[in-house]
Amino acid sequence: DKMDKTRVVQVLKVGKHGKYEKAVRHFVKYKAHDEKNAAKTGDVVRIMETRPLSKDKRWVIV
């Protein structure tokens, strides 16, 4: 992976469209800290919010 001890985690968010009230799905990407480099591409992980670790990282893989 290109970033040492960092993984980009994709999270599905479901909400309603403001005007039409249809369920809308979209994905949000978070940069998460992975101290042991244990997570690999395609793994399902849990993340927890933490103090800012860098400019973009505010999440840690649990």
Tens-digit pLDDT profile for residues 3-61 = 999 999 999 999 999 999 999 999 999 999 999 999 999 999 999 999 999 999 999 99
Q: State the pLDDT confidence band at 1, using cuts at 50, 70 and 90.
A: confident
The CATH number linked to 52 is: 2.40.50.140
Residue 34 falls inside a structural domain: yes
In the prediction, which pLDDT does 61 show? 98
Q: How many domains are contained in the chain?
A: 1
pTM here is 0.85
Range of the domain at 54: 6-61
Do 47 and 59 touch, CB atoms closer than 8 A?
A: yes
Residue 1 falls inside a structural domain: no
Please give the residue that has the higher pLDDT: either 23 or 1.
23
Give CA–CA dist 15/4, Å, rounded: 33
Give CA–CA dist 23/4, Å, rounded: 37
